Amino acid sequence: MAAAAPADQEGDRIRELPGQPPNVGFSQYSGYVTVNQARGRALFYWLVEAAPAAGPIAPLVLWLNGGPGCSSVGYGASEEVGPFRIRPDGKTLYLNKNSWNKAANLLFLESPAGVGFSYSNTSMDLYTAGDAKTALDAYAFMVNWLERFPQYKYREFYIAGESYAGHYVPQLAKLIFEKNNGTENPTINLKGFVVGNAVTDDYNDYLGTFEYWWSHGLISDSTYLNLKKTCLFDSSEHPSPECVKNLNLASSEEGNIDPYSLYTKPCNSSASLKLGLGGRYFLHKKVQWSVDSMSRHQCNVNNEMMVKQQPKRPWLSRAYDPCTERYSNIYYNLPEVQAALHANTTGIKYPWKTCSDIVGSYWADSPRSMLPIYHELIAAGIRIWVFSGDTDAVVPVTATRYSISALKLPTLMNWYPWYDHGKVGGWSQVYKGLTLVTVAGAGHEREGISGRRIVRRGLQRADPDQVVPPSGRADAAAIVARARPQVVAVVVRAGARGQAGGVLVIAARVGGAEAAAALAAEQARPPPEEAPGPGAEAGRAGDLVGLREARLVDGDEGDDALLPYILAVLGADAGRVPRRRAQISQVWSDGNYCRAANSQVKQMPLA
């Protein structure tokens, strides 16, 4: 019998949010966790548990938004990966079909104190926030939160975030790793982290951003050269006056665009340049405002007319709505919403805002690079996934690629397209310990792409170096033994000249006893007694002549996206491999590349 939930956990349960759709099928909790009793500092959280289809032991993902000083409730939960979207009336909600809670439990944290509903009774805390204190408070939050929610102790844990959370996420991961060091079974079971369009390394971020602006025709040749001359070696938190001068010039040349989604109209087409764009370059606070809060002021009261006149918004790419911040500012200031969320229990005197101008303006410390932390955590076996929407001009894909290139990691899979419902969804490159995924047509917040697919690709899929060639069942058994809980095992049987049938396994979704049982059932079957297929030459031990079987164990819709990483040409006779999907875009295994469509597999040269 399961232990009863702690009383304070039950007190945090959200019965129903105002305007919430009926029968959502998952539980929600929200409230405060004290991180510093002496100073009266408490952080607000919102837990959205995984949908039933994700399984009983789905991973826990902590989501952090950047700024610095911006709300994970306002952005992450309401505009990006959360289960609900707010309608333009600011009062009702609808379901987000791409919510990450279809694959994981989502824990949104408003951090640091002073952001959103999070608060401190010591007002000076709002003026002294910085990277170091934010990481310490987030760690204290997790330790205390797990005491309130002990069912998540030892659960697979990932940290995710975007923009300036490119600083929060790796620094918190490093702190957790250090605290866990030497502990055999840590309660915070950190497995990896995910960052999107992330501020990573000042030099490379500058370099890639200026290149993106210039190559997309946003700035002049002379401004491009002057930016590289005056800014490349500056701190992004404290740029030189000459750098700021050229950034302002770039802003003027770019005009009134939505830098978060380059080909989308801004929410308010009449917004002034300074209001709409003035402070969004990285962390440059030209009027001492944070990167996110400055450019987010586009959606002001004048937008009401635009919303009424153009309800269908025909220009919006990938269903992106640039006015969602306005809806959040209405919804989260409703007294009935705050009551349902157990928020603002101390009667904060100021209204809830998506970004805190105070916190962002007085940011204390910001290391110039996260790359040393990447190296340290990769060496320790922490998995890293980096996403980048390729229409974001704030932290663009070129900046991300320059930063990752600076790590000088070995490449395991070179640049290749990935597919979403039969169409190219973006491109990816797999390095040892890190995977880069770009998302075609997506901006800073990557609206409109399948969150469930992202979580499965990023959090639940086995690393490429865990894939073993079908050289023996002992290796396959070892892979399954290491499989993380809630992972589907893809089992491929193959025959080889002069060998018994081997087994190729990638752990991607079942794990534990189920995967072990699946493998045992495979091993119990007699080896194939078939002759080598065409192309096999006598005397070449290990020549692979054909797939005998490829199937998903306990798979469901979306898991077939894993097959491209498993189905490989192991011989000329692979065309008869059964599949659940007719189209398979890119396939890889052990150095063999091929393409398959409509169940036809064609050999391509070795990479």
Catalytic residues: 163, 392, 444
Q: How many CB atoms lie within 10 A of CB 223?
A: 20
DSSP per-residue codes, 318-366: GG--TTHHHHHHHHTT-HHHHHHTT--TT--SSPP-SB-HHHHHT----
| Cα→Cα distances 486→45, 54, 85, 106, 508, Å | 25, 8, 28, 16, 8
C-alpha to C-alpha distance for 168 and 262, rounded to whole angstroms: 25
Which pair of structure tokens corresponds to residue 564? 């491209």
In whole angstroms, what is the distance from residue 585 CA to residue 79 CA? 30
* Dihedral pair phi/psi, residue 115, rounded to 5°: -95, 130
DSSP 299: S
User: Do residues 477 and 517 touch, judged by C-beta distance below 8 A?
Assistant: no
Cα–Cα distance measured from residue 565 to residue 562, given in angstroms and rounded to the nearest whole number: 6
For the chain, the 3-state helix, strand and coil shares in percent, each to the nearest 5, are 35, 20, 45
Kindly give, in sequence order, each residue whose CB lies less than 8 Å from that of residue 151, ignoring residues fewer than 6 positions away. 5
262 SS3 class: coil
Residues whose CB is less than 8 angstroms from the CB of residue 130 and which lie 6 or more positions away in sequence, other chains included? 363, 364, 365, 366
Tell me the CA distances in angstroms from 584 to 458, 560, 581, one per residue in order.
19, 9, 7
For the chain, the straight-line distance linking the first and the last C-alpha, in angstroms and rounded, comes to 54
> Rounded to 10 degrees, what is the CA torsion of 288, 290, 293, 296?
100
d(CA 344, CA 350): 10
Tokens of 215: 């190559």
How many whole angstroms from its chain centre is CA 294? 23
C-alpha–C-alpha distance, residues 358 and 126, integer Å: 7
Query: Encoding tokens for residue 344?
Result: 């603002």
Instruction: Please give the backbone phi and psi of residue 84, each rounded to the nearest 5 degrees, phi first.
Output: -125, 150
398 SS3 class: helix
Q: How far is it, in rounded angstroms, from Cα 437 to Cα 414? A: 12
At 287, the amino acid letter reads V
Token duo for residue 247: 């950034």
